Structures are given as C-alpha cells and as structure tokens.
Structure 1
Amino acid sequence: MAADMRLPTLRKPVSISTFDRKDLVVPGDVITSDTGFMRGHGTYVEEDKLTASVAGEVQRVDKLICVRPLKTRFNGEVGDVVVGRITEVQQKRWKVETNSRLDSVLLLSSVNLPGGELRRRSAEDELTMREYLQEGDLISLGQGVLVQLSPSLIKRQKTHFHNLPCGASIILGNNGFVWLYPTPGQQEEEAGGFYTSLEPVTLSDREVISRLRNCLFALAAHKILLYDTSVLYCYESSLQHQVKDILKPEVMEEIVMLTQQKLLEQEG
C-alpha cells in the first residue's frame, strides 16, 4: 500500500499583523466614546458609547460610523463588478443569481444584442431571449471555471478584470463569484457583449485554471483578501506542488505562508 509522506521543511517565520488591526471588531466592542459620531449599520449606542453589533470592519465616512460584516450576503453598490447566473427568463427581463439577498434583474432593454447594432427592442427580440441567455448561463461568459467564495474576501479595486501572466484571466466579482478562463487571444468588440468562445481549451490552459482555482480556495480558507497580486503570488508559490496536492492542509498552509511573506515584502 502506497503512502504519501512529506518531510518537514525549515520555514521562515512570518509575522502577520491581521490580529493587531484596530478596524476589526466583534459584537460588544466599543468603537468610540465620542458622542459626535452618528450611528450606522452594524452599531448601536449603549451608555453613550458606540458599540459594534456584528463582527466586521469599522468604516468611517465623515461623522458616520458603520461596521461592514465579515460574513454576509452580497449587498451591491453602484460600480460593483458582479458575475451572475441566469435563473429564470421572464417577459422582457432575466432573473439573475448574484449571491445577494434577492435575485437581480437584467432588462432586455439594458443589454447590447449580438452584433452591437443600435435598434429598438422588438417583439421578436423578446421571443428569442433564450437564444441570447437561457437558464443556467453565466452572463456573457464563455468557457471557464466559476469559483463561489465569500464577498468579504474580494478586495475592492479600480478594476476587477485581470489578464494574469500565467496565461489565464480572472474576473473577481464583488459578489464573491470569481470567473477563471483562458486569456483570449483577440477580443471582438462588435459582439455586443455576447461573444462566446467555444473553441476547445488546451490541456496546458486547463492545468493553469485548475491551479488558480485551488489557489483561490487555499487563500479563502486562510481568510486572505483576493486581488490580482495575492492570487498571482499564491500561484507562483504553488508551482513546486502538483495541482491536486494544493488542497492538502499541510501543502495549503505552506503555500499561504509563502504568499503572505511575498505580500509583506511588497508592502515593506
């Protein structure tokens, strides 16, 4: 009977300052005793002290203080990038699962139909809605892998679309849905948002995407914020292991520690 064994390795200690952060609170923590602040979501006032009612990150906007929960359903804001799956085709609209409290709505009048031509939405368009998007489709996405994670792990950035140097691309949806796909060689702007590549994905591309997928799960398991740099560092740290081994607890811990070390070196 074969046994999988790994010898211990000398690891460089990594000091992580996450637990020293002053902006993280748990229920009952006093945020401030200053009565000049206004109470926002996730807070309450007790004995003239603003107190946290949920575990999360303290956010201050002028005189308003609120706590953003670490674990919660996605609550969309203007400008968010989301990855959604069609759950129902209705009259002149699609219902979309976006990991939110309620299903989202995508109106037929709000999308660019194939070809990108500007024209009135006709009854014919309404009758052929399933030719554009049908139940189970991910909106305007071709072949790839969907990874569903907690929205709180997605770091807000100016762009959530990244072509990684490893040969794959990633869409980090603010709603926690992450899309991994082979980097397209050529974009067709005239497709009106409905261009879908059905070309066979090569074995090398599938291996890269599978490695990225496992890296995402490793980072999420250790509560590391997900953005292009952290994902790329984790990918590079995993190259000494086979794809299937990344999710083994001891391998996962080693890869995440190396990733944290690289991130700290970059910040320092």
Structure 2
Amino acid sequence: MDIDLDGDEDFDSGGSKLTCPGEPLTSAQDYMRGHGTYVENEEVIASVAGTIERVNKLVTVRAVRTRYNAEVGDLVVGRITEVQPRRWKVDANSRQDAVLMLSSVNLPGGVQRRKLESDELQMRTFFEEGDLLVAEVQAFFGDGSMSLHTRSLRYGKLRNGQLVVVPPILVCRLKSHFITLPCGVDLILGLNGYIWVSKHVKQSDREGEEGFDAEAVYSNQNDAIDDFTRIAISHVTNIIRALATRFIPLSDTILLKAYEWIVEQGSDVKDLLQEDIGDALVAGITAIG
C-alpha cells in the first residue's frame, strides 16, 4: 500500500514518517525518486530504513543510521581531537574531522582583535585534546570538511554537564537549539547528534561585549553542582536515551512533555532505562500530544 504523501498534513508541514526497506512510497509517475529509493513496477520504493522527505516532486529517504551531513549555520557539539598550528581538529560525528581555526574563536582582549603569535603559542590554554565545545558551521573546505566558529559568547567550551549521543536524524531543526527546562537543566541539541545536558547558566553570565572573562570561558574546572541538579541532569539524560532508543524525534516540546510526565509518575532515574517504563513514557507523551 502506497504512503499518501499528498494527504498528510504533518508531512507537508515539516513532519517526518518512518519507513523500512521495500515499502512502496508513491507512484513513480507522479514523483521522482531520490536518494534511498528505487523504482519497481512504476512505484517509488524505499531502499533503506529512515525518514521520508519530499521537496516538491522529489522523494528521498534519509537513513536512520548515517553520518551527519552538515549545512552552513548548523549548531554542532564536538570534541577536540588534535591541536595543530593555528587550528584545532574537532570530532563532530561527520565523515571527517571538522576544523576550528584560531581566527574563528574569541580571545582575551576583545572578539575583533587580531590574532598574534603569542596566541598561537597558548592554543592549549583555550582548547586542548578531549575538550567539548559547541560551535556553528561557518563554511566548508575544498575536501568537504567543516569549518567551525565560536565567535558568539553562547558558543565555546562546555562544562558542568554530560554528553549524550543519538542518531543525527532524530534531532529536529528548531528556532533555537539552546533549551532550558524548568528543572534547572540546560540542553544544547547539536544537529550532529551530540547533545549536551548541563547545569543551568543565566544568559547574563554568558553574554558580554568586547571584553570577557577568558579564565571563566576557557576554564577546565566544573562548578559546584548540587544533588538536585545532578539528579535532574541524569533524569534528562535517560529521557533522551529512552526516546532515542525508540526513534522518537527530539524537539523542545517533546523533551518538556517527557520531563513533565516523569515528574508526574515519580519515576526514579534508573527506571527510565527499563523497557516497560520507556514504552510507557512514549505512550504517555503521545497521549499528551
């Protein structure tokens, strides 16, 4: 049975449908086949498991298990893998490491000042191997690797939290990928499938103009985190894992509903990793929606 691409309001408004290999999608006479599909008996059929996407008359299927394909302007979370002259290599869950140039970061003394030789000698005081950061995709090099920047003071080194890895396809594109939940937890939904769950930081502590506290911005020391916040971070982390295991697309509204459901049920942190509780969570937030 063909999937009705025309009659689905959610699909037309940017929603997504999951499909599996061999499932007929639509008529080959009305639509053109794209990546992840093939034509047989005048029907467009899915060749991979993933989400169906339609642009005008072109139908494609984005595979669930795939590397992240970046676009300029995407927000990503990454890990420093190597310090090189005037640049850092960053693991951003893509086909190859991304690059963060020394000229693309905020340095002490003002965001617009020129980078000096002394800055190059101190690169490890800003980022070193193993550091996590949030950045924006600025451009692409000739070999296809991403060029990142952290010039906004909302970007930069990440502390006071925990990293969760999910398939990139499950992270929805939102107006803002910085989310604050009522429990005092901040979320950064990286479009590359790396999600940062951390203690809440007030906007006034992040933002500034020309000068900023470089020691605080590039510090490797975590702040003191109380027990309530630690438990809240663990709750949110396990919620994300439970939803990702069941291939539920992650957005600000879904995560808020899920946390509210958990609070109502009074579930323990470890309970969320049990199959029956995870299933009940998905059923609960679907009923709320």
Letter in 2 for 1:173: G
Amino acid at match of 1:189: E
Identity %: 46
Q: Tell me the residue number matched to 1:63.
A: 57
**SS, match of residue 59 in structure 1:** strand
- What CA RMSD, in Å, does the superposition of the two structures yield over aligned residues? 2.6
Query: What's the TM-score once normalised by structure 2's chain length?
Result: 0.76
Q: In the alignment, residue 256 of structure 1 is paired with which amino acid?
A: V
Unaligned segments of structure 2, at least 5 residues: 1-9, 134-156
- Match status 1:222 vs 2:216: no
Structure 1 equivalent of residue 288 of structure 2: 262
Q: Residues 42, 130 of structure 1: CA spacing in aligned structure 2 closer, same or farther, 3 A cutoff?
A: same
Measure how far apart 1:130 and its partner are.
0.7
In structure 1, the partner of 2:183 is: 166
C-alpha contact 2:183 2:229 (8 A) present in aligned 1 = no
Q: Give the number of the structure whose residues are more often strand, by fraction.
A: 2
Q: Secondary structure at the match of 1:84?
A: strand
Match of 2:225 in 1: 201
Q: Give the CA deviation at 1:46.
A: 4.1
Q: How does 1:1-268 map to 2 (within 5 A)?
A: 23-35=17-29, 37-46=31-40, 48-139=42-133, 140-185=157-202, 186-190=204-208, 191=212, 194=217, 196=219, 198-239=222-263, 240-263=266-289
> Conserved in 2, the CA contact under 8 Å of 1:27 and 1:54?
yes
Deviation at 1:195, TM superposition (A): 5.4
Over 3 Å counting, the alpha-carbon distance change for 1:228 and 1:174 in structure 2 is same
Partners of 2:239 and 2:258 within 8 A in 1: yes
Contact map agreement 2:126 2:218 (CA 8 A) in 1 = no
How far is 1:29 from its partner? Answer: 3.2
The answer to whether the Cα contact below 8 Å between 2:28 and 2:39 also exists between their aligned partners in 1 is no
In structure 2, do the counterparts of structure 1 residues 36 and 123 end up closer, same or farther at CA, with 3 Å as the change threshold?
farther
Greater mean alpha carbon deviation, residues 197-206 or residues 32-41? 32-41
227-236 or 191-200, larger mean C-alpha shift: 191-200
Secondary structure at the residue paired with 1:96? strand
Aligned to 1:14: none
Q: State the 1:192 CA deviation.
A: 8.3
Q: Secondary structure at the match of 1:94?
A: strand
Q: Is the 8 A contact 1:94 1:105 kept in 2?
A: yes
| SS of alignment partner, residue 131 of structure 2 | coil
Task: Tell me the CA shift for residue 206 of structure 1.
Answer: 0.8
Q: Contact 1:93–1:108 (CA<8 Å) still a contact in 2?
A: yes
Sort the Cα spacing of 1:92 and 1:192 in 2 relative to 1 into closer, same or farther, 3 A: farther
Inter-CA distance 22–257: structure 2 relative to 1 (3 Å threshold): closer
Partners of 2:258 and 2:26 lie apart in 1 by 37
Distance in 1 (alpha carbons) for counterparts of 2:66 and 2:25: 20
Equivalent position amino acid for 1:243 in 2: V
CA shift at 1:84, angstroms?
0.4
